[in-house]
Chain A
Amino acid sequence: MGYVAVKGGTLAIEESIKRLKYERLHKEQVLETRQIEGGMRGLIDQVMSESSLYDEKLAALAIKQAEGNPEEAVFLLRAYRSTLPRKHSSQIIETGQMKVERRISASFKDIPGGQILGATTDYTHRLLDFNLMKETEESVSEWLSNYALEHRANEMLQDAPELALPKVLDYLRKEGLIPPLENNDAEPDDVTRESLEFPSSRSQRLQILTRGETGAVTSLAYAVIRGYGALHPTVGELRVGSLPINVEHPNEAGSDEDEYYIGEIKTTEAEMLMPFMIEKAKGKKELEFEIGYGLCFGQNETKAIAMGILDNCLEHPDNSFPSHNEEFVLLHIDSVESTGFISHLKMPHYVTFQSKLDSVRKTKAKAEEREEVQAYE
């Protein structure tokens, strides 16, 4: 499609930007970014995940500026990210080191280390809590003191176990239920540095899935389960927790202990189990499991599970299902790409549309002319 530049409207554009500010401010409420950071954890996590940039403060600022609109906030953060230099790549992060805050399995009741519910809405009634309309700083601080008091009784138990728990998959591998694997340390591809080409690599697929738009990733994974795909997944393990980040000294080779620790990030990891039949010798069939993998920033469980489902779909290309087609999935789940393209339809298309209109007019005129000639005859 050809584009033709248009000009004009400078004053109207300036007034439009003022009007945008007016819409944000006319209720005379100044939303502090630390309030957004403190109270909108779900949105912060979603925006960080989709923008591929981990920083709660910047995410809060983007949400404020975007008036809570995630697609706009993600756009702002992606643009800001492109202005910063990349200083380092982290050392390899092993998710087995996660300091777990929540960890469940829908496949196995008794997993080594146990199931930990952590903070979840899964068991809440989903009834609107009208008390939140009356919540004050005093009531919050009273609740927090009571919470601290409740837990103080346990302070004597100083031998609380470390919450770096074994992975369910490792347990299954030890049992021989999943084939063992060696680490593959091949350098991953980076979709932010090199354009995606098909067929894509596994590292490209996982990078695009983890920064995919939450709703899009979820919708496609839902379609898979509803029959527009060939998978029947179960959550092998879902965990939420913090991962430590370390970087190497830029010029100094040293041991692991000479690295710089820079802080922790919160992530959600999903390991999805997909049963499938394989044909062994003499036509014998056996049930085996494959694993779909999901990992994303923040506590973002639906997305991590959906990512795990799509990961496995893309490992098994099948043109009968769009969900197993990497071009279909990977090119449509990016928030900035998809919303940007849909939004561009609002921009002036006068020349292209006029040429279409001219063509319709000409066709109509010819048809009318023919009708007139036929009527004469």
Chain B
Amino acid sequence: MKRKQRTEILIEGSHELAKSLANEIEQKYSVSVIQEPEHGLVMLKVRETSRKSLFYLGEVLVTECKAKVEGKIGMGIVKGDHPDLAYQLAVIDAAFLGNLPETKPWAGILEIEKYYIDQKRKAKNEEILRTKVSFETMDV
């Protein structure tokens, strides 16, 4: 599973999952923190749809961490103030970069979590779609 999908599942799903996967690595390997979780900003680059040009919408607060496992440096970055999650994401990222054997069954676990995220999204979409409206114009 590629990084974008994996990080989306770990951030949007239960944070307990990231905790347990990082814990699995911590128990078997030595993890060194290259950069403690710290706050920073990500500038948001957006395409406007009038001229299709780019502009900066503003910045979002993030927590970022870097951790080294088996010689590979992983990065964890997440919107908001989440030092623990940023660290866990960094460890998981390093584990995937090092292609550690523990990561093999993780794809299945992440797929299951994705299923729950999708179910929640569908439920939310259904709620939103209850407000779908069909406007009629009246003859005057």
Known: A52-B58, A188-B53. Contact between A92 and B42, CB under 8 A? no
Asked if A183 is an interface residue, CB under 8 A from chain B, the answer is yes
Across-interface contacts of A263 in B (CB, < 8 A): 11, 60, 78-80
- A87 contacts B4, CB within 8 Å? no
B49-82 vs A: 1/0 string, CB under 8 Å? Answer: 1111111111111101000000000010111110
A248-283 vs B: 1/0 string, CB under 8 Å? Answer: 011000111111111111010101000000000000
- A116 contacts B131, CB within 8 Å? yes
- A55 contacts B125, CB within 8 Å? no
Interface residues on B, range: 35 or more
Cα–Cα, bound, A119→B2 (Å): 35
- B125 contacts A271, CB within 8 Å? no
- B79 contacts A116, CB within 8 Å? no
A-contacting 9-mer, from B23-31, B100-108, B132-140: B132-140
Cα–Cα, bound, A117→B134 (Å): 10
Asked if B16 is an interface residue, CB under 8 A from chain A, the answer is no
Cα–Cα, bound, A154→B130 (Å): 10
- A93 contacts B57, CB within 8 Å? yes
Closest residue to A312 on the B side, CB-wise?
B50
Across-interface contacts of A155 in B (CB, < 8 A): 123
Cα–Cα, bound, A297→B46 (Å): 12
Q: Majority SS of interface residues in chain B?
A: mixed
- A311 contacts B8, CB within 8 Å? no
Interface residues on A, range: 35 or more
- B40 contacts A86, CB within 8 Å? yes
B-contacting 9-mer, from A14-22, A287-295, A328-336, A359-367: A287-295
Cα–Cα, bound, A267→B5 (Å): 22
A residues 52-76 with Cβ under 8 Å of B? 52-55, 57-58
Cα–Cα, bound, A95→B50 (Å): 12
B-contacting 9-mer, from A38-46, A161-169, A221-229, A343-351: A161-169
Cα–Cα, bound, A49→B108 (Å): 39
Asked if A132 is an interface residue, CB under 8 A from chain B, the answer is no
B57 to chain A, nearest CB (A): 6
* Best-buried of B2, B41, B48, B54 by chain A (most CB within 10 Å): B48
- B133 contacts A117, CB within 8 Å? yes
Asked if B39 is an interface residue, CB under 8 A from chain A, the answer is yes
A88-111 vs B: 1/0 string, CB under 8 Å? Answer: 111111111001111000000100
Across-interface contacts of A293 in B (CB, < 8 A): 48-51
- B2 contacts A151, CB within 8 Å? no
* Best-buried of A86, A158, A260, A264 by chain B (most CB within 10 Å): A260
B17-38 vs A: 1/0 string, CB under 8 Å? Answer: 0000000000000000000000
- A265 contacts B2, CB within 8 Å? no
Cα–Cα, bound, A249→B2 (Å): 13
Asked if A85 is an interface residue, CB under 8 A from chain B, the answer is yes
Closest residue to A84 on the B side, CB-wise?
B41
Asked if A10 is an interface residue, CB under 8 A from chain B, the answer is no
Asked if A245 is an interface residue, CB under 8 A from chain B, the answer is yes
- B135 contacts A115, CB within 8 Å? yes
A289 to chain B, nearest CB (A): 11
Asked if A210 is an interface residue, CB under 8 A from chain B, the answer is yes
A residues 116-163 with Cβ under 8 Å of B? 116-119, 151, 154-155, 157-163
Known: A53-B58, A88-B42, A90-B44. Contact between A261 and B11, CB under 8 A? yes
Asked if B119 is an interface residue, CB under 8 A from chain A, the answer is yes
Asked if B126 is an interface residue, CB under 8 A from chain A, the answer is yes
- A188 contacts B52, CB within 8 Å? no
Across-interface contacts of B47 in A (CB, < 8 A): 92-95, 183
Asked if A207 is an interface residue, CB under 8 A from chain B, the answer is yes
Known: A58-B61, A86-B40. Contact between A188 and B54, CB under 8 A? yes
Across-interface contacts of A109 in B (CB, < 8 A): 135-137
Across-interface contacts of B134 in A (CB, < 8 A): 114-115
Closest residue to B43 on the A side, CB-wise?
A89
A364 to chain B, nearest CB (A): 53
Interfacial residues, chain A to chain B (CB-CB below 8 A): 48-49, 52-55, 57-58, 81, 84-96, 99-102, 109, 114-119, 151, 154-155, 157-163, 167, 169, 181-188, 190-192, 202-203, 206-207, 210-211, 244-247, 249-250, 254-265, 267, 269, 271, 290-293, 295-297, 311
